[in-house]
Structure 1
Amino acid sequence: MVAPTTAFEDSTADNPPWTGLAEEATFLQTVVNDSGRASVTQVGTSAVDNNPINMVAVGYPSAPTSSELKSKSILLFIGAQHGNEPSGREMALQKIRDLAYTTDPDTQVYLRNHPVIFIPTPNPDNLAVARNNKLGNDLNRLWLSFSDAEVQAMGSVVRDYSPHIVVDFHEKIGGATQFEFLHPTNAEVTPAIANIALDIHTEGRAALNIAGYSTGLYNGSEAPFILRNSAGLRNIITVLGESSGQGDTTYLTRKQAVDGYGIFLDRVFVYHRVNADTIRDAVASANIESRQRGEDKAVIQDPNITPPAGYTVTNAQYSTVSQALALLNLAAYELSSASGYFISMAQGAKRVLPFLVDGASPDAVVAANAVGADPSLLSTAEVYNVRWRVSGGTALYGASLGVDALSLEVGGLYPDRVYEWSVQEQEGSVSSDWSAWQTFTTLPQFNLEYRDTATQATTSVPGVSGTSFELTGLEAGESYEFRVQEDDGINTSDWSGWHQFTTTAVGTDQDVTLVMGQQVTQAVVVNVDQVAVTNAIVASQQTQSQAATVEQIATLSSVDAQQATQAVSVEISTATVMDITAVLLEQVMQAQVVTVDQVAQAAAVIAQQLTQGAPLSAEQVTDLAAVVVEQITQSQAVDVSIVQPDDLTVAVIEQLTQAQSISANQNAQVAGVSAESRTEVQAISLASDYSLVTTPVQQSTQTQIVELLDGTGLNVVTLEQATQGQAATVDLTLLVGTVTGEQAMEGQTSVVAATLLLSAVDVEQLTEAEIADILGSAMLVDPRTLRVKRTTVGYTVNRITDSFRVKFKATVH
């Protein structure tokens, strides 16, 4: 496959003609068709000639989807906003091609985690002709009003895909300094955002200096209506570039301008790859801080105004600014009087809002009315703010503000990793406290290759989540083989050996499901085969790039396990354990522990197998027919088969390997088992846990459903009733007895004491923690899951479960 070139590249002249629109279209389509790693999407048309304005997205190993672009930390490049400054745009065409065809492993890793979007030609009508668009407007002065079609097209890309980095290249008129750069300089830009942009162009300038080009800082303004500052005010890391080529090639030829910009952008890619976690944290934290500062009415440096809670606009004013508000991701809510709208300052992009609508701003599009408190609205402006991070860390991995649904899809996560998330509710300009952190774990990810053994024609399938994958379109009666490697999103293991399978000799096309019990991590290869009806388990494992085979079977009566770890062989066998119909093995290898919990009629089995000659023990499990657990060490996943258990309501097997919690899937033959499969893209459920108005809600657990009300009446659901989905009510204001664990297990009807009027306790003398302790004890729940908040009428008590559903919410007087 030969990568295409432009006539500009092929020319031997120092200042060849710029690539035209027709050639650009043909060039990009060739890149898309040949590489399979790029896509072209029209995002708008020019204001006069209706020329298409295209967005080009490049990723690896294939063109990024819209979902990937929205969920990953991406970079956006914009070229030639000013039509007569096309050197950045010319460089962009070459860079699109270079990225799409790259064989460099570091670049491929970068593109997989950080797809790049290009808008090479946002001003097509006057390309290489004039600075402004054909309406005579400077596009880089419209990033507040968004009045023209070209900037609306660019703005929609920024809004829809929320890039963490924006690079905007221009040309200056002459000057001995060949390249100059600048970061956001408006006083209201979050310092962390501006500082990262400064770091980026400092490193880029250093790379240019090494290449022999002269560089410096551009003398730009603080105006909020130019892209550099407008994006910075929205917490986007933005870098402006100015090359010394516009109309004068004395100091820099066209070829040199394109070459220098390419060197700079390559350095930006490296910075992004190396500092991705810092960038994620800075952007997420800036959005959260900006929202909070708006709620707190923090000091505003520019424009010089008294910080309001927000602004109200008339219907006519709203009509003028509604498009700009939408492109800036600023929500507006209709007033109850239907006379206009309210725009809260408690939003992530609030730093740009006063410039747009406050009459004190010389750049304001309308003069809105600043208000010190939320006005009466037609409907409740209730949204959620969500943040997430790697479990145990402090740096944020991402944040999403103003979520108006009860679920949020979070993507761009690394596979086989534990994350945690937290949520707060916001109503208008007022928000709740953040919830406690809740954890979730992503599945491991594999790359798969398979081929016809006769033709050796190989097909690659990257990014397979989980341990099985369905192959389609195979020939009947043909012999195939496949291999896998584990991919943690940053590094990949060695490939496994090839494993053969043969399709059925009937029909025309075959679908085959490969169970990838073969997993590779840190150069350790483990092959897992499961065989039905055998009376022993033989486990042989070797580390440090050595292969191991584990055969596990149902109908277990004895275990013969042999382990080889770093040339140390240990034999462990178990005697017959009376009445044991299943054994769960917990294996500790190289200081790694796997804990297996089994809920089955209040019975549990924990079996530990240790290296260096340690014994193997087991406890009895009731009514469990057969359980086979395969464990693979060094951060690898677990395949779990549960065969024909009786009366098993819930079976959860968790593996903890290298401080990561992995939920294993459960066999479909288990009646009534709730199976969880966590994927790379996590669905987070939100509920009205932090409602600003106390409302009775339902509590749902695996064994009880209880509805707590502030009224009178008392009835507690029994265990049997709870499993049938029946609810009950509990009076929080009466002093009642407490249910015991024994009574609850037996399904007896009992009452729950959920009031603070216990004995002679004076509520006012208690701390919120003490209140939580009393409530937790009374209701048989962990007090750490209770959040107590003092109000003017008493105390609001909330409880959070792992799935973030409110178990109860009530006001205690």
Structure 2
Amino acid sequence: MTSRIRTLVLSVATAALVVPLTALPSSAAPSAPQQTPPRTPFEKSDGADWTTLAEEQRFLAAVDRGGDRVSVGTIGATKQGRPLNLVELGNKHAVTSLLLICSQHGDEPSGREACLTTVRDLAYPEDPATKRFLDRTSVLVVPTANPDGRAADTRGNSDGVDINRDHIALETAEARAFAALTRDRRPDVIYDLHEYGATPPYYDEDLFDLWPRNLNTSSRVHDEAKTLSEAYVRPAARAGDHTIGTYGIWTDPVTGEPIRQTAGDGQERILRNASGVKHSVGLLIESRVDPRSEAEENDPSLNHRRRVDSQLDSLKGLFGYADKRRVQLSTATALSRAAGLLDRGTVYFGGGDNEPATPEDTVENPPCAYRLDATQYGEFKDELALHGVKALPQRGDGALVPLRQSQRKLIPLLLDERATYHLTVGRPVEAC
């Protein structure tokens, strides 16, 4: 498979857009790596074989040795002891930061392969544009978000838990690691790579994507997520000759009009929604698993390559967006994080950007804090900390969780009895 990232050229609509970047100072320019860039077993087999976990370890070790803009570490381990690898590329201190979470579902491998080759291409940049991009951008990649599930080829982890439904409760080691990473590194974009099964002729695109629908996402972050999708990722996918639509929406095959929603709601426990509530521009991307042709049915490697290629082409849109809109992106996420300090604004326990919340799910004047008793605080203080929520311990009497903090709109989703996925029921405090 040829490299898809090295030129950072994004085809938007019918025109080719070369990502414009400011030149690196000569003193900052790294020397070119001398080693030959490694290739994944998926690439070596021309798509016949997926990269195994052991092969991933060897591949990342080779990338780490050869690239001087990359470091490979871990952010934890699974219940079965497999490492959760984290690859850091570019400038750790850059204003613009991206986080790729690859294959939360273990039986959806194409996003993982796209992430591995992207890591390699960014670690061995061959052109000045990519080097300048990396100088201004921090790129974090979790290549295999569910190693136990990948080893077993299962959707869930070793306990059968769907990690992508655990970004509120944080019951899994994987979700806890991602929450801590998000809290500590505060990525501007969280890009979540998945696969889906088609339902022709209503749900049958090469790719689907979706932004945070949860109404507790700030309007600035929500709008940037839609811009990422509509103005960058979708044009990049189409430029790669892939069809793309909105995840969870069946469409009339003749008119193209939406006729049914089967998924893609505003559940805060799903990563793209949790990302938005936590002030990151979240985007879900799903590639089509099913064969597109008789040739793909007869040769699985063709199907595998098409799935991975579609993920790689959509990633061009992400990188083009991060560079072209880095000011708007950083402004949106920074203002979103600061808004909670003002302690005002409506909180929603339901609805979505395509489904107005009911009056019962709309709280225009939420309490100023929630009080937890000693037992509740003892049981859930770690989860609150992982979410980046500050709690004020009270002498011998649990803790007070004020809403006047950055994660203001997340707190009721964790502690209010009206929230569908609350951790526990705190006592509302109306006057602080």
Cα shift readout 1:655-700 (whole Å, capped 9, x = no counterpart): xxxxxxxxxxxxxxxxxxxxxxxxxxxxxxxxxxxxxxxxxxxxxx
Give me the whole-angstrom Cα distance separating, in 1, the residues matched to 2:216 and 2:85. Answer: 32
Contact 1:119-1:154 at 8 Å conserved across structures:
no
Superposed displacement of residue 276, structure 1: 0.9
Instruction: Give 2:82's match in structure 1, choosing from 21, 27, 51.
Output: 51
Please give the secondary structure, in 1, of the residue aligned with 2:101.
Answer: strand
Superposed displacement of residue 304, structure 1: 3.4
Equivalent in the alignment of 1:345: 403
Equivalence map 1:470-489=2 (5 Å): none
Give me the whole-angstrom Cα distance separating, in 1, the residues matched to 2:310 and 2:209. Answer: 12
Give me the whole-angstrom Cα distance separating, in 1, the residues matched to 2:182 and 2:347. Answer: 25
Please give the secondary structure, in 1, of the residue aligned with 2:96.
Answer: coil
Equivalent in the alignment of 1:311: 370
Equivalent in the alignment of 1:87: 110
Give me the whole-angstrom Cα distance separating, in 2, the residues matched to 1:271 and 1:79. Answer: 19
Please give the secondary structure, in 2, of the residue aligned with 1:82.
Answer: coil
Please give the secondary structure, in 1, of the residue aligned with 2:216.
Answer: coil
Give me the whole-angstrom Cα distance separating, in 1, the residues matched to 2:149 and 2:291. Answer: 20
Percent identical pairs in the alignment equals 30
Equivalence map 1:339-418=2 (5 Å): 339-374=397-432
Please give the secondary structure, in 2, of the residue aligned with 1:261.
Answer: helix
Give me the whole-angstrom Cα distance separating, in 2, the residues matched to 1:343 and 1:32. Answer: 42
Equivalent in the alignment of 1:217: 246
Cα shift readout 1:96-151 (whole Å, capped 9, x = no counterpart): 00001112222211111112000011211120610000111110111011111111
Contact 1:90-1:258 at 8 Å conserved across structures:
yes
Equivalence map 1:11-410=2 (5 Å): 11-12=45-46, 15-47=47-79, 49-59=80-90, 64=91, 68-69=92-93, 72-127=95-150, 129-175=153-199, 176-202=204-230, 203-219=232-248, 220-245=264-289, 248-250=290-292, 253-292=303-342, 294=343, 296=344, 298-302=345-349, 303-305=361-363, 306-336=365-395, 338-374=396-432
Higher Rg of the two aligned structures: 1
Cα shift readout 1:624-672 (whole Å, capped 9, x = no counterpart): xxxxxxxxxxxxxxxxxxxxxxxxxxxxxxxxxxxxxxxxxxxxxxxxx
Please give the secondary structure, in 2, of the residue aligned with 1:232.
Answer: helix
Contact 2:206-2:310 at 8 Å conserved across structures:
no
Contact 2:99-2:141 at 8 Å conserved across structures:
yes
Give me the whole-angstrom Cα distance separating, in 1, the residues matched to 2:166 and 2:373. Answer: 23
Letter in 1 for 2:285: G
Give me the whole-angstrom Cα distance separating, in 2, the residues matched to 1:299 and 1:368. Answer: 19
Contact 1:174-1:249 at 8 Å conserved across structures:
no
Letter in 1 for 2:266: E
Please give the secondary structure, in 1, of the residue aligned with 2:362.
Answer: coil
Normalised to the residue count of structure 1, the TM-score between the two structures is 0.43
Give me the whole-angstrom Cα distance separating, in 1, the residues matched to 2:77 and 2:67. Answer: 26
Give me the whole-angstrom Cα distance separating, in 2, the residues matched to 1:44 and 1:180. Answer: 30
Cα shift readout 1:721-774 (whole Å, capped 9, x = no counterpart): xxxxxxxxxxxxxxxxxxxxxxxxxxxxxxxxxxxxxxxxxxxxxxxxxxxxxx
Cα shift readout 1:181-221 (whole Å, capped 9, x = no counterpart): 00000111111101111111112111111221110011201
Greater share of residues in strand: 1
Q: How many residues align?
A: 357
Equivalence map 1:447-486=2 (5 Å): none
Please give the secondary structure, in 2, of the residue aligned with 1:28.
Answer: helix
Cα shift readout 1:385-425 (whole Å, capped 9, x = no counterpart): xxxxxxxxxxxxxxxxxxxxxxxxxxxxxxxxxxxxxxxxx
Q: Which runs of 5+ in 2 are unaligned?
A: 1-34, 249-263, 297-302, 350-360
Superposed displacement of residue 318, structure 1: 1.3
Give me the whole-angstrom Cα distance separating, in 1, the residues matched to 2:422 and 2:367. Answer: 16
Letter in 1 for 2:213: T
Give me the whole-angstrom Cα distance separating, in 1, the residues matched to 2:39 and 2:348. Answer: 49
Equivalent in the alignment of 1:661: none
Structure 1's consecutive aligned runs of 4 or more residues displaced over 3 angstroms after TM superposition are 303-306
Give me the whole-angstrom Cα distance separating, in 2, the residues matched to 1:205 and 1:197. Answer: 12
Superposed displacement of residue 346, structure 1: 1.0
Give me the whole-angstrom Cα distance separating, in 2, the residues matched to 1:234 and 1:26. Answer: 34
Equivalent in the alignment of 1:468: none
Greater share of residues in helix: 2
Please give the secondary structure, in 2, of the residue aligned with 1:53.
Answer: strand
Give me the whole-angstrom Cα distance separating, in 1, the residues matched to 2:239 and 2:148. Answer: 37
- RMSD after superposition: 1.5
Equivalence map 1:408-807=2 (5 Å): none
Superposed displacement of residue 46, structure 1: 0.6
Equivalent in the alignment of 1:547: none
Give me the whole-angstrom Cα distance separating, in 1, the residues matched to 2:304 and 2:340. Answer: 41
Contact 1:304-1:360 at 8 Å conserved across structures:
no
* Match status 1:7 vs 2:41: yes
Give me the whole-angstrom Cα distance separating, in 2, the residues matched to 1:270 and 1:105. Answer: 15
Contact 1:174-1:250 at 8 Å conserved across structures:
no
Give me the whole-angstrom Cα distance separating, in 1, the residues matched to 2:283 and 2:346. Answer: 26
Give me the whole-angstrom Cα distance separating, in 1, the residues matched to 2:126 and 2:417. Answer: 54
Give me the whole-angstrom Cα distance separating, in 1, the residues matched to 2:383 and 2:187. Answer: 18
Superposed displacement of residue 174, structure 1: 2.4
Please give the secondary structure, in 1, of the residue aligned with 2:119.
Answer: helix
Give me the whole-angstrom Cα distance separating, in 2, the residues matched to 1:356 and 1:145. Answer: 8
Letter in 2 for 1:216: G
Contact 2:416-2:422 at 8 Å conserved across structures:
yes
Please give the secondary structure, in 2, of the residue aligned with 1:27.
Answer: helix
Give me the whole-angstrom Cα distance separating, in 2, the residues matched to 1:333 and 1:157. Answer: 23
Letter in 1 for 2:207: F
Letter in 1 for 2:71: S
Normalised to the residue count of structure 2, the TM-score between the two structures is 0.80
Superposed displacement of residue 25, structure 1: 0.6
Equivalent in the alignment of 2:260: none
Contact 1:145-1:321 at 8 Å conserved across structures:
no
| Larger RCO, structures 1/2 (Cα 8 Å, 6+ apart) | 2
Give me the whole-angstrom Cα distance separating, in 2, the residues matched to 1:275 and 1:72. Answer: 12
Letter in 1 for 2:291: T
